[in-house]
Amino acid sequence: MYRKFTAAHIFNGFDWLPPNSVLITTADGGIVEIAERQNAGDDVEILDGILSPAFVNAHCHLELSHLKGSIAEHTGLVDFVFKIITQRQADAAAIAAAIVKAENQMLQNGTIAVGDICNTTNTIEPKKTSSLFYHNFIEVAGFVPAAAQSRFDAALQILQQFKKSTATNLQYATINPHAPYSVSPHLFNLINQYPGNSLVTMHNQETPAENEFFKTGSGDFLRLYEQLSIDISFYKSSGKSSLQTILPHLTNKQSLLLVHDVCTEKDDIKAVNQMIASGLISAAHFCLCPNANLYISNSLPNVNSLLNNQCSIVLGTDSLASNHQLSILEEMKTLQRHFPQLQTSQLLQWATTNGARALQMLQTLGSFDPGKKPGVVLITQVQGNVLTNKSTAKRII
């Protein structure tokens, strides 16, 4: 039993298909082939809008879903991070209910896979039976060098809780640094040396104060350590950006997923590319979460600079603590509004094939290649093949 779909515009994960193409799938969404309309036979479902492989959300924190609406917009990163650390505790049932609700929202709005940051085991149960695919980024933080081993061991215990399950979704899990400003060199080294830790993500250059702290040892981040009562008298600034300071600690052929990149400059990209050229890291992807950047600090990444330097761009939503919804389509719409020169096909590629590649799921997801089961999304309320403010997306398989 096959299903056959056609629409005015079909994006296959890389580019637009010729007009009159028909997507043929098995009943459960396995891609069979792309046929021409005249060879596709009967029972072709004619849809209005854009057909695309389902979306990959490369950066989310499902376990923070209960914080939706609880932190004001435009606080800036330092106050936002402080509020997350001090306000994330809540009733276990409320946390669990919010996770399930947020996951359902993602399923409805066109998502198929998620790179999910985990500081706890709170998402293990819902993920066991989820029809979304996950890479679980177990996150560790600790800026005081003496705490490195105990922080790492705690993260390792969470990792083991995930991996001991037989559910496929929980097998894909690695240990990841939170951010340059929250992880000591010793802790970076423990993460770097951990066997099999081949896919590593990190919050990167989210605000100018992060680079300022590493370049000069001053700025708004001093307030964060003070608020958290962390004695940083041991700290010496490197004179380099945050990313360039910590890159030498990642040398184990990891694929890097750098998230936010609001203040990532040409020199930073060059340093990443040098690490790739010398075989120290295997790849780098730059994950944009524009709605979270607007929410937290009313800023946006320099998309043109990332594009001009041939970066692989992927998309994420961050958490409901810093976003009104977990929707990759809404991230694309925001980018198109602020960077009108971006083509819809570029945005869709970031949301599909690039995201699947970054999460190492390209073999099965991301494009309409025969044999894959990438999910099928219909985007409606478009103008031709261009997204509008009213566009909506839903999974049809």
Residues that bind Zn ion (CB under 5 A): 318
Nearer to Zn ion, 210 or 318 (CB): 318
Minimum Å gap between C-beta 287 and Zn ion is: 9
Angle at 388 between CA 382 and CA 389, to 5 degrees: 135
SS3 content of the chain, % helix, strand, coil (to 5): 40, 25, 35
Total length of the chain: 397
Give me the numbers of helices (H) and strands (E) for the chain, helices first please: 15, 14
CB atoms within 10 A of CB 39: 8
Q: Looking at beta carbons only, is 116 or 318 nearer to Zn ion?
A: 318
Cβ closer to Zn ion: 31 or 259? 259
Nearest distance in Å: CB 229, Zn ion: 23
CB of 296 to Zn ion, least distance (A): 10
Distance of CA 197 to the CA centre of its chain: 17
Nearer Cβ to Zn ion, position 63 or 318?
318
Q: How far is the CB of 359 from Zn ion (least distance, A)?
A: 15
Look at residues 364, 176, 158 and name the one whose alpha carbon lies nearest to residue 256.
176
Between 11 and 55, CB nearer to Zn ion: 55
* Cβ at position 260, least distance to Zn ion in Å: 8
Closer of 103 and 318 to Zn ion (Cβ): 318
Closest distance between Zn ion and the C-beta of residue 82, in Å? 15
Nearest Cα neighbor of 54 from 367, 265, 300 is: 367
Tell me the residue number closest to Zn ion, measured at CB: 318
CB of 179 to Zn ion, least distance (A): 9
Q: Identify any residues that bridge with 53 across adjacent strands, giving them in sequence order.
A: 376
Residue located via tokens 């490197």: 238
CB-wise, 63 or 268, nearer to Zn ion? 63
Q: Is 110 left (phi over 0), alpha (psi -120 to 50) or beta?
A: left
Task: Supply φ then ψ for residue 355, to 5 degrees.
Answer: -65, -45
Specify the residue, 139 or 212, whose C-beta has the smaller distance to Zn ion: 139
> CA of 315: how far to CAs of 3, 139, 290, 298, 381, in Å?
29, 19, 9, 18, 21
Helix, strand or coil for residue 385? Answer: coil
The whole-angstrom separation of Cα 273 and Cα 4 is 42
The pair of three-digit structure tokens given for residue 23, joined into one six-digit string:
């997507």
Q: How far is Cα 150 from Cα 296, in angstroms, rounded to an integer?
A: 31
| Rounded least distance, CB 203 to Zn ion, Å | 6
